[in-house]
Structure 1
Amino acid sequence: MSERVSMRKVREVLRLKFECGRSHAEIAASVAIGETTVGDYLARARAAGLAWAEARLLSDAEVEGRLFHDGGRNEPPSRVPIDFAWVHRELSRPAVTLQTLWVEYRDGAMGQAPLKAYEYSRFCALYAQWKKKLSVVMRQVHRAGEKMFIDYSGRKPHVVHPSTGEVYEVELFVAVLGASNYTYAEATRTQKVADFVGSTIRAFEYFGCVPEVVVPDQLRSAVSGPDRYEPDINPTYLEMAQHYGVTVIPARPRKPRDKAKVEGGVLIAQRWILAALRNRTFFSPGELNVAVRELLEQLNKRPFQKLEGCRHSAFETIDKPAMRPLPAHRYQIAKWRKVKVNIDYCVDYEHRLYSVPYTMVGAEVEIRATATSVEILHQSERVASHVRSYGPKGTAVICDEHRPREHRDYGKWPPERVVAWAESIGDQVGEFARRALGQRTHPETGYRTCLGVIRLADRYGKARVNAACARALSIGSPTCKSVTAILKNGLDRAPRVEPPTRAPIAHEHIRGASYFDTEDERDPGRNDSEARRDEAARDGTDGARDARVSPDGTPLH
């Protein structure tokens, strides 16, 4: 793992702990590191007196200097053993939590020096490991406004292409709140990042508020590195979560009980939405979503079978009061890409070029692209920002301040300045520059040719370059390669030999220029035979031609 990624995770640990108030286990699941590492980061922060409010304003290097200045770790002391049977038995009693039991365990360990008690995160982790040995199914208790579970339906709705009649499948996104079972569903074309992030945002907006935790499945759009213990959250999805202030804790792979709420919600959506639409035909996902929204409202207002009220009323009384309001601005979906800065101090994104300061040539940077902007970041710090270009492929967006000084001066030269510089070498060099710039649609594309010829004067002298340009112009090749070849071979010193002019050949079988008169100069009333007789008369071969033509002009065989 690179240094830069490690510091990003350290920052995320501090944010989740001090801003979101998450537990060590939740932070470990979200940031894809071990709980021990979470505890170590937080212990270092406490020892350094570094809070999140201060850390968010510091650079990666400053945070690293504050937290990781020590050289090693001490060996952990011996710990007081935990009575896991007692913990499990006490948890079944009302209002008893692991936090309460850990406090009692810690207080009881104070008289057993030199042994020390386990910290809370390790206490919980050891209990979770012990509990896996029990052949029981844990019934999850969901706190109000805490979790939103996300999944896609295995059964997919269909849409018909309006022009071709082709039937294709679309995805059904389902989100369910843990405490109230309030459900959101919509159809999307794919499960890709843009569709997945957009569906999550629209779910927040449908609820009108934000939960504390989002629990997606380990699909690639949510988890860029699927892993049972340390999944890496997709950077785009993580940025969206940070914008809304939520924690992403993916469900474990092949563990549907981690998201049993949404598994049930998907089943209900299939029965009450997809089944109800089975006999209807839709020609676009938007048209399908209109029908889905109507059935979704009916589903959320259907009375519970064993409880009072419905999903909507439970949401209004349980989840909504405990959830946080939406931020002032909607998150704008961004794509991330790692690239290296090219020698022309530009980075390539979707075949368009964007500049960065020229001192960063060869550096590895990250591109963050939205629909309207392209940002370039180096070690988590923004070094350039551009309005996104949708011009033809190869379009370059370059800020003048990113260029070195000599490039900025070069870009400000008009064609007249280049020609004037060339004329200072010689009149033929000036004519060469004028010709090279004039034959191009954009004169700027000929600057390099002119500058290349001008620099040849430093090596060969002005007189030779002037003579070489004259020779290149005479052969119709105003290019830097031609001038360079002439100078290398010494042709600028050789006398120019004009090609010999050939005298016209006089022969009786050559028709001459008069034969090729335009048609409008001939008599349109004459036929071809008369034209041949006239030609024969001019050439003095009347007898030979008349011998082959009858009096009426018909050819004789």
Structure 2
Amino acid sequence: MFQYRQALVRMRQGDSDRQIATARIVGRRVAARLRELGEQHHWLDATGPMPEDEAIAAALGQPKRASTTVSSLQAQRERIQAWAQQGVSGVAIFAALQRELGWSGSYSAVRRMLADIRSGEPPETTCRLDFEPGDAAQVDFGAGPMLMHPDGKVRRTWAFVMTLCFSRHQYVEFVWDQTVATWLGCHRRAFEWFACVPRRVIIDNAKCAIVKACAHDPTVQRAYAECAEGYSFRIDPCPPSDPQKKGIVESGVKYLKGNFLALREFRHLADLNEQARAWVTQVAGQRVHGTTRQAPLALFAIERPLMQALPAIAPDLGTWHRVTLHPDCHIKFDYRLYSAPFALVGKVLWLRATDGAVALFDDFRHVATHCRALKLGERKTVRDHLPPDAQRFFAHDREWLASQARLVGAACEQLIERLLADKILERLRAAQGVISLVKAYGHPRLEAACARALAHDSPYYRTVKSILSTGADKTPLVELTTPSAYAKPRFARDAATLFASPNPQLDLLH
């Protein structure tokens, strides 16, 4: 249209069609047609106003060129259009046409048909989001390099990236997994890296953050909700299947992969994170950003004073898990065992695990807290959590038995020591039975019964019980003596004397 207006201006100035064509404004045929239209609509009068573009376009009335080529897939257009609306790729459509219809055409025909179908659809539009300083940060995970894990296997690492939406300053950390504990720990270290907290954190619908994704009413992970409350930020999840809402961090992850991970070597995870931190401050933070046209660190200096301060005391971040209390009064978490009151056996409890402790809750009621077990299979037990019978059994251990025996007397103490010193049979219950006789017979009688049992060299529970039940402990203990006539039997010999040779000549013969 600009060329048509220039041609009309030159005509109003008296130039011929040849002069206009020589000036390469329009061709002679177009100039001749335009002059004819100008004379009809009085556009060539230099004293009159120039026509509007709409009037020139309406007068020209250029028809659209109609394609004379008919696609070989025209008969299948509706079917292909239905497949395209379902999100089926062109390669899959091409294979289906060959399989179902025996079509022998080329894939280019399918591609042209899909392009023609999409040209008739309304174009997709986007809206660029603007953020105030300190308003929001966007978070995402990206695939990292393969490294040797401490368990001796090569595993995939994952890049946790938090990008401030205003300044584009980043926090990058590579981790081994995407669990809730890792997610919370990365948030804590990111806020400490920035030394401030944004008012919103925009995330996708990862399971470590969102239990149930929904465009209007998502369900947030209980542990992540506690993290947001502790650091005073709002969680802003993207609608399902709409990652464009966090395009800033998506671009940041792409930039990380293309600029940092490419052509670098890493010895281990610590080396990878050390290089990443140096890259963020020395390269990514100093570059001129393609959108803001300023360095992220320069904008961060403006943004940081407007962000929320870190809490005076860092919140105690923990992960929540549903566990069941087993009949042995213990729950199993992370291949370690923790006790809870026996009255809750069979119930589903809530477990909150932090780096140093494990707490158990019956709904909202706190029931137990344990130090975090370090070894696999380790058992943390509070004796009061066990049933009464088990509490009594475990309470009456060796130290308790020894202390109770000292209260009875020296004979009882000696008898208990001999019972517990048995190297073949565990006599803990026998010792407990002896001490339990105090309730029925009292300390003096039990001490006398133990003394009589030791005198007969029979330190057993049944012996002490028989002495007490028959009243033998009440009779004086008679010391048995051997008459002097029988003190040295005439023909008795010990083994050494019996086998000693009285004749040295016999030894020589042997």
Secondary structure of the residue aligned to 1:324 is: coil
Map 1:300-339; keep pairs closer than 5 Å: 300-305=285-290, 307-317=292-302, 319-339=303-323
Residue 90 of structure 1: aligned partner = none
Q: Deviations over 1:239-279 (max 9, x none)?
A: 2222112222333343222322221121122222222xx1x
Q: Deviations over 1:27-78 (max 9, x none)?
A: xxxxxxxxxxxxxxxxxxxxxxxxxxxxxxxxxxxxxxxxxxxxxxxxxxxx
> Please, which of 399, 402, 408 is the counterpart of residue 416 of structure 1?
402
Secondary structure of the residue aligned to 1:312 is: helix
Q: Distance in 1 between matches of 2:373 and 2:384?
A: 17
Q: Distance in 1 between matches of 2:172 and 2:147?
A: 16
Residue 354 of structure 2: aligned partner = 370
> Please, which of 135, 150, 170 is the counterpart of residue 146 of structure 1?
135
> Please, which of 159, 163, 168 is the counterpart of residue 176 of structure 1?
163
- Could you state the TM-score of these two structures normalised by the residue count of structure 2? 0.53
Residue 269 of structure 1: aligned partner = 256
Letter of the 2:361 partner, please give it. L
Letter of the 1:302 partner, please give it. R
Tell me, yes or no, if the aligned pair for 1:419 and 1:434 is still in contact at 8 Å. Answer: no
Q: Distance in 1 between matches of 2:363 and 2:222?
A: 15
Residue 398 of structure 1: aligned partner = 382
| Counterparts in 2 of 1:394 and 1:418: CA distance versus 1, 3 Å | farther
Letter of the 1:326 partner, please give it. L
Q: Distance in 2 between matches of 1:440 and 1:135?
A: 88
Residue 257 of structure 1: aligned partner = 244
Q: Distance in 2 between matches of 1:457 and 1:290?
A: 69
| Counterparts in 2 of 1:221 and 1:475: CA distance versus 1, 3 Å | farther
Tell me, yes or no, if the aligned pair for 2:401 and 2:431 is still in contact at 8 Å. Answer: no
Q: Once the 2 structures are TM-superposed, how far is the Cα of residue 346 of structure 1 from its aligned partner?
A: 5.4
| Counterparts in 2 of 1:407 and 1:245: CA distance versus 1, 3 Å | farther
Q: Once the 2 structures are TM-superposed, how far is the Cα of residue 171 of structure 1 from its aligned partner?
A: 1.5
Q: Once the 2 structures are TM-superposed, how far is the Cα of residue 196 of structure 1 from its aligned partner?
A: 2.3
1:191 partnered with 2:191: no
Tell me, yes or no, if the aligned pair for 2:323 and 2:351 is still in contact at 8 Å. Answer: yes
Map 1:14-29; keep pairs closer than 5 Å: none
Secondary structure of the residue aligned to 2:129 is: coil
Q: Distance in 2 between matches of 1:226 and 1:456?
A: 67
Secondary structure of the residue aligned to 2:237 is: coil
Tell me, yes or no, if the aligned pair for 2:370 and 2:380 is still in contact at 8 Å. Answer: no
User: Deviation above 6 Å: which 4+ runs of structure 1?
Assistant: 161-164, 399-406, 420-424, 429-432, 453-459, 473-476
> Please, which of 273, 287, 307 is the counterpart of residue 289 of structure 1?
273
Q: Any gaps of 5 or more consecutive residues in structure 2?
A: 1-120, 467-495, 501-505
Tell me, yes or no, if the aligned pair for 2:147 and 2:269 is still in contact at 8 Å. Answer: yes
Tell me, yes or no, if the aligned pair for 2:208 and 2:221 is still in contact at 8 Å. Answer: yes
- Could you state the TM-score of these two structures normalised by the residue count of structure 1? 0.49
Tell me, yes or no, if the aligned pair for 1:373 and 1:385 is still in contact at 8 Å. Answer: yes
| Counterparts in 2 of 1:167 and 1:399: CA distance versus 1, 3 Å | closer
Q: Distance in 2 between matches of 1:414 and 1:173?
A: 55
| Counterparts in 2 of 1:281 and 1:163: CA distance versus 1, 3 Å | farther
Q: Percent identity?
A: 25
Q: Once the 2 structures are TM-superposed, how far is the Cα of residue 209 of structure 1 from its aligned partner?
A: 1.3
Q: Distance in 2 between matches of 1:302 and 1:453?
A: 84
Q: Distance in 2 between matches of 1:228 and 1:423?
A: 78
Map 1:113-128; keep pairs closer than 5 Å: none
Map 1:228-247; keep pairs closer than 5 Å: 231-247=218-234
Tell me, yes or no, if the aligned pair for 1:224 and 1:232 is still in contact at 8 Å. Answer: yes
| Counterparts in 2 of 1:228 and 1:134: CA distance versus 1, 3 Å | farther
CA RMSD of aligned residues (A): 5.2
Tell me, yes or no, if the aligned pair for 2:329 and 2:385 is still in contact at 8 Å. Answer: no
| The structure with more radius of gyration | 2
1:450 partnered with 2:436: no
Q: Distance in 2 between matches of 1:401 and 1:343?
A: 12
> Please, which of 339, 355, 366 is the counterpart of residue 382 of structure 1?
366
Larger relative contact order, structure 1 or 2 (CA cutoff 8 Å, min sep 6):
1
Tell me, yes or no, if the aligned pair for 1:355 and 1:398 is still in contact at 8 Å. Answer: yes
Q: Once the 2 structures are TM-superposed, how far is the Cα of residue 328 of structure 1 from its aligned partner?
A: 1.9
Map 1:451-470; keep pairs closer than 5 Å: 451=432
Q: Please, which moves more after superposition, 384-393 or 404-413? A: 404-413
